[in-house]
């Protein structure tokens, strides 16, 4: 066994010779390469333009900054057990592998199906929103031709598909450039509000208990948590990370802290910038217009135009990051022989899951074709697919927290601190159960108000979970060799 592990390790570290097909993914992604990929998945500029004012207007109003702090604390509690497990579990695949290792192969495969469809939904919805944003930018900001949104969407899909074909380092560099621009503009807005003293001076009404508990706290908490979605992708890139035992935990904590700090500061200063007496009413009436309006006040026309451009690049970066995450789920399931073996092939020079990437692009184009054929609306598509995708990710976070406890109970020899193996995961479970309850109760709001569609989509994801469990039991009886590979448990 030890000799086999040495052979695998040597193969992973050695560069592929000409004509030799690599046996797995590898790379040298550092902490900030992974962090910027996670930030791209979250699309901070989209949060600035769309989500913050939505929480202010429809959530708990002035208490929005505290909502972001609370969501960040919950994600940090989850991250304690998640990162502790990542130090001992070499299996890539994040939710898929972690739930498999902690709760068993059947539930792990069900979670993999849920995760894959969730990421596909988020990807397709993001593409639709990206096409619409490109259309508005070219037509309204640059006064160019009025080209249908789906033409832009198809173009973005092809560009992302090309980038996804190459090694992950190229995507990481591109995402780093875009994310630096987004974060710098958000910080520029924050500094400008502080420098000018806001609309009515610096006030701290956001921290009053009455403000924190005002409005719809449940809806605020739900949207706040969704703004952190994607940080679990740190473990998806484990095979392509430099020194993954250290890189993955560090990247996870850095990503959560950066997101929490950025969203807290910007929401607090946006409230001050607009004015505590009118921010809730304005945000409820026109969330996007209110965000762009306050940017115009503090950053001027040029700054607002830059934000408009960065919103489009932010969505493009999110699409690229989501494409890469989706690709690696397809790749992992192919390595485990759940999907066709051919999709697990790694490019001999790029060392990328190129066939899985091409499959993701084809699926995206087919979904776009269906949307055009049935005359789907881009805005509705975005709201429905991204909203329900965020809902299912909360379910997966909850299952993973149970998986962390199960994993360390199965491996008492690891002697992990009680805080990491039990206390923090239990705290995360408590918070995530509340979040899942709120998400189930408000899922119709997340996807645009259609309760019938909400019920169908929730049923779809529960059905995917059950389907994965059934497939696993069938494989255990008919193909035990494949069953043993679920979640890469045979490595």
pLDDT tens per residue across all 491 residues of the chain = 334 333 334 333 444 444 445 556 776 788 888 888 888 888 899 999 988 999 999 999 999 999 999 999 999 999 999 999 988 887 766 789 999 999 999 999 999 999 999 999 999 999 999 999 999 899 988 899 999 999 999 999 999 999 999 888 888 888 888 889 999 999 999 999 999 999 989 999 999 999 999 998 888 888 888 888 877 777 778 778 788 888 888 888 999 999 999 999 999 999 999 999 999 999 999 998 999 999 999 999 999 999 999 999 999 999 999 999 999 999 999 999 999 999 999 888 888 899 999 999 999 999 999 998 988 888 888 888 888 888 898 999 999 999 999 999 999 999 899 999 999 999 999 999 998 998 888 888 877 777 888 899 999 999 999 999 999 999 999 999 999 999 877 65
* pLDDT confidence of residue 210: 94
Give the C-alpha separation, 414 to 243, whole Å: 20
* pLDDT confidence of residue 374: 87
* pLDDT confidence of residue 256: 92
**Sign (positive or negative) of CA dihedral 358, 360, 314, 317:** negative
Asked if residues 145 and 138 have their Cβ atoms less than 8 Å apart, the reply is yes
Instruction: Spell out the domains of the chain, with CATH numbers in brackets.
Output: 24-94+123-377+431-440 (1.20.1740.10)
Burial class (CB in 10 A: 0-12, 13-18, 19+), 374: exposed
Give the C-alpha separation, 97 to 90, whole Å: 9
pTM: 0.89
Structure tokens at 14: 């050695």
Question: What 3-state class would DSSP assign to 216?
Answer: coil
């Amino acid at each position: 066994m030890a000799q086999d592990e040495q052979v695998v390790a040597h193969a992973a570290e050695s560069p592929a010779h000409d004509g030799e097909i690599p046996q797995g993914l590898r790379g040298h992604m550092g902490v900030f390469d992974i962090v910027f990929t996670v930030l791209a998945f979250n699309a901070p500029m989209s949060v600035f333009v769309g989500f913050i004012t939505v929480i202010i207007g429809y959530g708990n109003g002035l208490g929005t900054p505290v909502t972001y702090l609370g969501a960040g604390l919950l994600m940090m509690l989850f991250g304690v057990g998640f990162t502790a497990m990542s130090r001992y579990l070499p299996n890539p695949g994040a939710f898929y592998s972690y739930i498999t290792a902690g709760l068993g192969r059947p539930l792990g495969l069900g979670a993999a199906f849920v995760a894959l469809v969730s990421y596909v939904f988020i990807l397709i919805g993001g593409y639709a929103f990206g096409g619409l944003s490109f259309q508005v930018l070219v037509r309204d900001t640059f006064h160019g031709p009025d080209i249908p949104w789906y033409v832009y969407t198809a173009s973005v899909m092809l560009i992302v598909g090309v980038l996804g074909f190459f090694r992950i380092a190229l995507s990481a560099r591109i995402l780093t450039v875009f994310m630096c621009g987004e974060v710098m503009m958000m910080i520029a807005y924050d500094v400008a509000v502080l420098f000018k003293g806001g609309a009515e001076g610096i006030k701290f009404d956001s921290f009053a208990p009455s403000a924190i508990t005002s409005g719809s706290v449940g809806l605020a908490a739900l949207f706040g948590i969704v703004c952190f979605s994607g940080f679990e992708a740190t473990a998806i890139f484990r095979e392509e990370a430099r020194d993954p035992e250290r890189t993955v935990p560090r990247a996870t904590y850095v990503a959560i802290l950066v997101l929490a700090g950025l969203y807290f500061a910007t929401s607090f200063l946006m409230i001050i910038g607009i004015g505590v007496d009118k921010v809730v009413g304005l945000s409820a009436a026109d969330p996007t217009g209110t965000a762009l309006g306050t940017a115009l006040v503090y950053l001027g026309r040029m700054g607002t135009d830059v934000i408009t451009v960065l919103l489009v690049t932010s969505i493009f970066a999110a699409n690229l990051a989501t494409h890469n995450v989706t690709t690696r789920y397809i790749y992992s399931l192919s390595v485990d022989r759940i999907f066709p073996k051919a999709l697990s092939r790694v490019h001999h020079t790029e060392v990328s899951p190129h066939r899985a990437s091409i499959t993701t692009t084809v699926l995206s184009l087919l979904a776009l074709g269906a949307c055009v054929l049935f005359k789907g609306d881009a805005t509705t598509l975005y709201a429905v697919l991204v909203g329900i995708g965020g809902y299912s990710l909360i379910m997966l976070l909850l299952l993973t927290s149970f998986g962390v406890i199960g994993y360390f109970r199965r491996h008492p020899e690891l002697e992990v601190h009680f805080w990491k193996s039990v206390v923090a995961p239990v705290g995360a479970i408590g918070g995530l159960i509340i979040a899942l309850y709120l998400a189930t109760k408000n899922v119709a709001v997340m996807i645009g108000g259609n309760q019938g569609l909400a019920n169908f989509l929730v049923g779809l994801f529960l059905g995917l979970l059950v389907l994965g469990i059934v497939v696993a039991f069938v494989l255990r009886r008919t193909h035990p060799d494949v069953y043993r590979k679920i979640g890469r448990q045979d490595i």
